[in-house]
Amino acid sequence: MKRFKIAIVGAGPAGYFAAQALQNLADDQSTYDIDMIERLPTPWGLVRSGVAPDHPKIKTVSKVFEKIANAPGFRLFANVELGSDLTIEQLKDSYDAVVLATGSPRGKKLGIPGEELPGSLSAATFVPWYNAHPDFKDEAIDLSSHTAVVIGAGNVAMDVARMLALEPSELDPTDTADHAIDALKNSAIREVVISARRGPEHAAFTSPELRELPKLEHTNVVMNPEDISSAIIRAGAEIEKDTKSNLDAMTLIAEREPTSHDRTLIFQFLATPIEIKGNGKVEEVVFQRTGSEETFSIECGLVITAIGYESPALEGIPLANGKVVNNEGFVEDNLFVVGWAKRGPSGVIGTNKSDAAEVMKILVSKLNKPKDSGDVTGIITHNKVVTQMHWEQINAAEVAAGEPLGKPRRKAVSREELLNLGAL
């Protein structure tokens, strides 16, 4: 029996699905012991700090993650950072293979004047802020203006716009960070404009997300019927199934009678942002009507860009176009990559399952003889490692704290608070 040691860096969906694939590939000749390394004191990646809190069903995949974590040969080493607590070279030397599942946490930039003004930020800041990510808890998000503009026509833009436009007491029974619920309850924002540079037929939203918008109980959702009808004409008879489903969902929204709610979410199509203006802070966004020379402005005090993500540079890892340079997940030597760090920020959580399974097949095919070497326990020098046992304690404490409040959990926010819950 050959017993290989695999290190997976990053405890998000891609990391867990890579671990699961390795567990499934074990047979009576080879097994794979997995050490999962995570920078934060908590695992689950975007399932904890990305998925919108008003989408609790999507988070039930965490049950699968916990099953993977409790299988024999799996160990969690959270609160351990690649770069400061250990290097990629150390991991490559100690393990038979190393799998990067570090995602793409950086928001892409528009590259237009005024983007750096206070009041202009990326969904890569706003989303982890409302989801209680320790690194974003102190962000001061200015919610004092009447109008916010969200730039981008994907599901992240939709999450961001919905979080800004819904009645904040709807978040009480969710695991939204307490600081975000408080701030949103004090928010002056009553109009959220979600802007797409192309037409409705090219929007990257998916139809389940569009179809839930009319169910918002306290928000008027507005689409211009002419925008949708002309998109249907442009899309023509040979329309793709997903596009048709999107346009059907948009037609339902556009045809609805306006309601008297004081909160409004407006879709602005064919609007290419060209400048953000303001005296010391955001005051307006200037758009070009896509395909024409015409420009127009929207006055606002907050701009959130949700136009995609990229991976940051990590020492010792080749990077290009915001992704780790790879060939079907193989990077170099005994290093592999899965998830958004491999293919860029696309697909839903489940996409990572088939993706990781393909890469793990290649990884296993390259293994020969197990290394006789150490592991992370010989490298990490601090004593604040969150193991699976500690995490289960943190998890149970959060769930228990949420129960009397009718929430699935009440998230601890700071690293100290999280480590305390784990008795570390």
Of 156, 166, 221, 385, which one interacts with ligand NAP (CB under 6 A)? Answer: 156
Of 35, 159, 191, 201, which one interacts with ligand NAP (CB under 6 A)? Answer: 159
Using CB under 6 A as the binding rule, whether residue 209 contacts ligand NAP is answered as yes
The Cα 99–Cα 111 span in angstroms is 32
Using CB under 6 A as the binding rule, whether residue 152 contacts ligand NAP is answered as yes
Measured from each CB, the residue nearest to ligand NAP is 154
DSSP state letters, 14-53:
HHHHHHHHHHHH--SSEEEEEEEEESSSS--THHHHTS-T
Considering only residues 328 through 357, tell me which ones interact with ligand NAP, judged by CB under 6 A: 345-348
The Cα 176–Cα 127 span in angstroms is 10
Amino acid at 353: K
Q: Which helix (H) or strand (E) holds 267?
A: strand 263-268
Using CB under 6 A as the binding rule, whether residue 151 contacts ligand NAP is answered as yes
Contact, 341 vs 311, CB < 8 A?
A: yes
Residue (of 201, 257, 209, 245) closest to 227 by Cα position: 201
Of 183, 194, 235, 306, which one interacts with ligand NAP (CB under 6 A)? Answer: 306
Contact, 88 vs 335, CB < 8 A?
A: yes
Of 22, 110, 150, 254, which one interacts with ligand NAP (CB under 6 A)? Answer: 110
Report the residue number, 221 or 394, with the smaller CB distance to ligand NAP: 221
Q: What is the nearest approach in angstroms of ligand NAP to the Cβ of residue 291?
A: 12
- Spell out, one character per residue from 15 to 44, where the chain touches ligand NAP: x when CB under 6 A holds, - when not: ------------------------------
Q: What is the nearest approach in angstroms of ligand NAP to the Cβ of residue 231?
A: 14
Report the residue number, 309 or 336, with the smaller CB distance to ligand NAP: 309
- Report in angstroms the alpha-carbon separations of 110 from 54, 270, 304: 28, 16, 11
The Cα 395–Cα 422 span in angstroms is 9
For ligand NAP, which stretch binds (CB under 6 A), given 154-162, 279-287, 364-372, 380-388? 154-162
The Cα 343–Cα 326 span in angstroms is 9
Using CB under 6 A as the binding rule, whether residue 106 contacts ligand NAP is answered as no
For ligand NAP, which stretch binds (CB under 6 A), given 73-81, 132-140, 153-161, 408-416? 153-161
Q: What is the nearest approach in angstroms of ligand NAP to the Cβ of residue 59?
A: 11
Give exposure, 59-90, as e/b (b: 16+ Cβ within 10 Å).
bebbebbeebbeeebbbbbbbbebeebbebeb
Amino acid at 407: K
Q: What is the nearest approach in angstroms of ligand NAP to the Cβ of residue 51?
A: 7
Using CB under 6 A as the binding rule, whether residue 157 contacts ligand NAP is answered as yes
For the chain, the first-to-last Cα distance in angstroms comes to: 37
Query: Could you tell me how many residues of this chain bind ligand NAP (CB under 6 A)?
Result: 23
Using CB under 6 A as the binding rule, whether residue 153 contacts ligand NAP is answered as yes
Name the region of 278 (left: φ>0; alpha: ψ -120 to 50; beta: rest): left
Using CB under 6 A as the binding rule, whether residue 60 contacts ligand NAP is answered as no
Using CB under 6 A as the binding rule, whether residue 231 contacts ligand NAP is answered as no
Query: Which stretches of the chain bind ligand NAP, using CB under 6 A?
Result: 110, 151-157, 159, 196-198, 202, 204, 206, 209, 306-308, 345-348
